[in-house]
Amino acid sequence: MRNCHSKTITKAVFPIAGLGTRFLPVTKASPKEMLPIVDKPLIQYAVEEAYAAGIRQMIFVTGRTKRAIEDHFDAAHELESMLEYEQKQQLLDSVRNVTPDDMHCVYVRQASALGLGHAILCAEKIVGDDDFAVILADDLMMGETPVMQQMIDQYQQQQGSIVAVQDVPRSQTNLYGIVSGNESQGALLKINQIVEKPLPSDAPGTLAVVGRYILSASIFDELKKQQPGIHGEIQLTDGIASLLKKEDVFSYRFNGRRYDCGSKIGYLQAVVDLASCHPEVGESFNHWLANKVESPCTEVFKQKQVN
């Protein structure tokens, strides 16, 4: 069994091979993770969060329709030359800052969307024996201290796997992995049970797993043992359930706000909140929004949205 906890986390896995069906038709040929929050795509927020936490190797588990993500993190020589020639320094910086020189991107394909657990298993050879971070870009997290940094701070004290959690209404437990445990230390809880999407009546609690993890490399062996479910999917939750029988796994209530950008309503909330604070358009957007609230939906737009 592999169990060599390293003191720092240097690798993050970004599973981005899901089909994004809740956003069809926009996700038919374009990645959900490239949906913009004003002028920056979701995946860039996720990578910036990892980078701010000291992580330098970014491992993307990609699939069909995801090539735009590789282009986004690649150099864009023609565009950069043009911006340089036109002396548009701010725009040039915004393009160059996407990929700092000391950041290393690696891509691995998940040929079929066989579940989050399977996607993570696709990164095994690149991750190797190191403990690693997992970031789901469609959970946009805003914290005064970046959420992955908060988790690494916890990891350095506990040296065990850690999953980020938030309290949800009991009526929503069927949308999440739900954890329970009894040894808590502040925001940390030692987990003794994790269940995938339980009915509210069966849920062992209301602490829901959200899209940030630090995992021991032993998770790969546990994922390999999982039987695929009805759609051939391998669930990360089942791998974690198996892992916690052998090693400590903690949940961590992060400080900050989560936007579920895999859902339309969460995505729209993120756009509005971040547009309101945007240095370039925030003021005029807030002015427009204040008037808009008085007449929320125009009839002609209502008709256009029907199909």
Q: Is 16 in the site for ligand UTP (CB under 6 A)?
A: yes
The window from 1-9, 115-123, 163-171, 218-226 that contacts ligand UTP (CB under 6 A) reads 115-123
Q: What is the distance between the alpha carbons of residues 23 and 229, in angstroms, rounded to a whole number?
A: 24
Cα(202)–Cα(213) distance, rounded to whole angstroms?
24
Binding to ligand UTP by residue 239, rule CB under 6 A?
Answer: no
Say how far apart CA 116 and CA 110 lie, in whole Å: 10
Residue 246 interacts with ligand UTP (CB under 6 A)?
Answer: no
126 CB-side CA count, 13 A = 23
> Where does this chain touch ligand UTP (CB under 6 A) — which range of 132-140, 145-153, 212-220, 295-303?
132-140
Do 176 and 168 form a contact (C-beta atoms < 8 A)?
yes
| Contact with ligand UTP (CB under 6 A) among 47, 53, 116, 141 | 116
Amino acid at position 40, single letter: K
Q: Is 12 in the site for ligand UTP (CB under 6 A)?
A: no
114 binds ligand UTP (CB under 6 A): yes
Angle at 256 between CA 250 and CA 258, to 5 degrees: 85
Residue type for 122, please?
C
Q: Quick one: which segment of 48-56, 89-97, 112-120, 194-202 binds ligand UTP (CB under 6 A)?
A: 112-120
2 is an interface residue for ligand UTP by CB under 6 A: no
Is residue 22 at the binding interface for ligand UTP, with CB under 6 A as the rule?
yes
Look up tokens 């998770």; give the residue: 219
Binding site for ligand UTP (CB under 6 A): 15-22, 32, 61, 110, 113-116, 118-119, 136-138, 262
